[in-house]
Amino acid sequence: MLSERSRQVDSSGIRRVFDLAATLKDPINFSIGQPHFDVPDCVKQAAIDAINGGRNRYTQTQGIPELREKALALDRARTGTPNDAVIITSGASGGIMLALMALLNPGDEVLIPDPYFVMYKHLTLLIGGVPKFVNTYPDFQLRAVEIEKLITPKSKVLFICTPANPTGAVTDGANLKDIADLAARHGLLVISDEIYHHFSYDAPPASIAGMYPGTLLLNGLSKSAAMTGWRLGWAIGPDELVKEMIKLQQYSFVCAPSMTQYGAMAALDFDVSGHIADYRRKRDRLCNALSAKYEIVKPGGAFYMFPKAPGCGGAEFAEKAVKNNLLVVPGNVFSQSDTHFRISYAASDATIERGIEVLLKIA
């Protein structure tokens, strides 16, 4: 009864960890990829005002004009993108799905840095594309030379995520410039997922969007404003592609939630610097505590680290952690390899201290 398309996509390993968390008593949860702080009150109030003001109907498919203009202005100032076509999407993941639907024919190849955010692989498969995995081990830097090894006449799309989930790696500007030149030579469409751009701890992250006009820039508020359940993102890119995404949104998501769009207007003005400083401190605490027993590439951003599992594979280590009431995500959820595991340090200081104690014990 079920389609072959559906059968190609596995249930998310992250969701399985979420389900497991519900069965444990007071687990030490290092698995959740969402901020541990709440949505700012000003954002909640803006959404409540929109609801009470009757702004509960469909918006334009591409989003309300004032939000599109504001998001475009902020990202153009930040990245230097020359593109001005913008669509408001149901989360950055909605933008990924619409973009791949607009771009891929069956058999087209999508180049994905490994380790990767799980949706890149599975949405590519769902739409009939062929994922090709670009090795970034051991330092998790994406490099043009590794991408070029995989390019064929069927290569069409390249994903970039910086700062990255699951590694926290920030791709440096020199590598991005080499990648931009490579993409231009081969006519690749780059999808640059910049949802974690606020969470860069050592320097502002570079963006390929200002280096290569064939870039679709994805952004949103799930991380910076903790609006994970509000499903609000946007995409800025070449006019032809964004127009096609708007057309496809008419027949899928219809539009992003209306009250969420009005809340987003307030969220774009929210100062996240206090949360950034807090997560920088949490990162440093974990790195300093664990580096003697774990092989860790210090993450430059996001709120993840991707240590190598000591003495076993990532899945086996995650099982060992569960037996000690600690939830981490095995690396094979995000990778073709099973050598590492992901820690999310979007957690309270008390949770982090408990987790450190267990990790040092089971190393």
- Cα-flanking dihedrals φ and ψ of residue 76, to 5°? -70, -40
pLDDT tens profile 166-181? 999 999 999 999 999 9
Tell me, yes or no, whether 195 and 286 share the same domain: no
Q: What is the pTM of this model?
A: 0.95
Q: How many domains does the chain have?
A: 2
Tell me, yes or no, whether 315 and 219 share the same domain: no
Domain stops at, among 267, 286, 304: 267
Domain stops at, among 225, 249, 267: 267
Tell me, yes or no, whether 59 and 98 share the same domain: yes
Above 80 in pLDDT, residue 353?
yes
Tell me, yes or no, whether 196 and 324 share the same domain: no
List Cα–Cα distances, 178 to 172, 174, 311, in angstroms: 10, 6, 36
Domain stops at, among 246, 267, 288: 267
Tell me, yes or no, whether 55 and 131 share the same domain: yes
**H/E stretch holding 215:** strand 215-220
Q: Which domain holds residue 353?
A: 4-39+272-362
Tell me, yes or no, whether 150 and 196 share the same domain: yes
Rounded (10°) angle between helices 65-79 and 258-267:
40
CA angle in degrees (0–180, nearest 5) for 297-344-340: 50
Above 90 in pLDDT, residue 9?
no
Query: Residue 89's domain is classified under what CATH number?
Result: 3.40.640.10
Tell me, yes or no, whether 19 and 88 share the same domain: no
pLDDT tens profile 126-144? 999 999 999 999 999 999 9
pLDDT tens profile 147-162? 999 999 999 999 999 9
Query: Residue 288's domain is classified under what CATH number?
Result: 3.90.1150.10
How many angstroms from the chain centroid is the CA of residue 31?
15
Tokens coding 13: 């390993």
Tell me, yes or no, whether 192 and 78 share the same domain: yes
Tell me, yes or no, whether 204 and 151 share the same domain: yes
pLDDT tens profile 304-316? 999 999 999 999 9
Identify the CA nearest to 313 among candidates 335, 291, 346, 288.
Answer: 335
**H/E stretch holding 234:** strand 233-237
Q: Judge if the upstream peptide bond of residue 166 is cis by omega within 30 degrees of 0.
A: yes
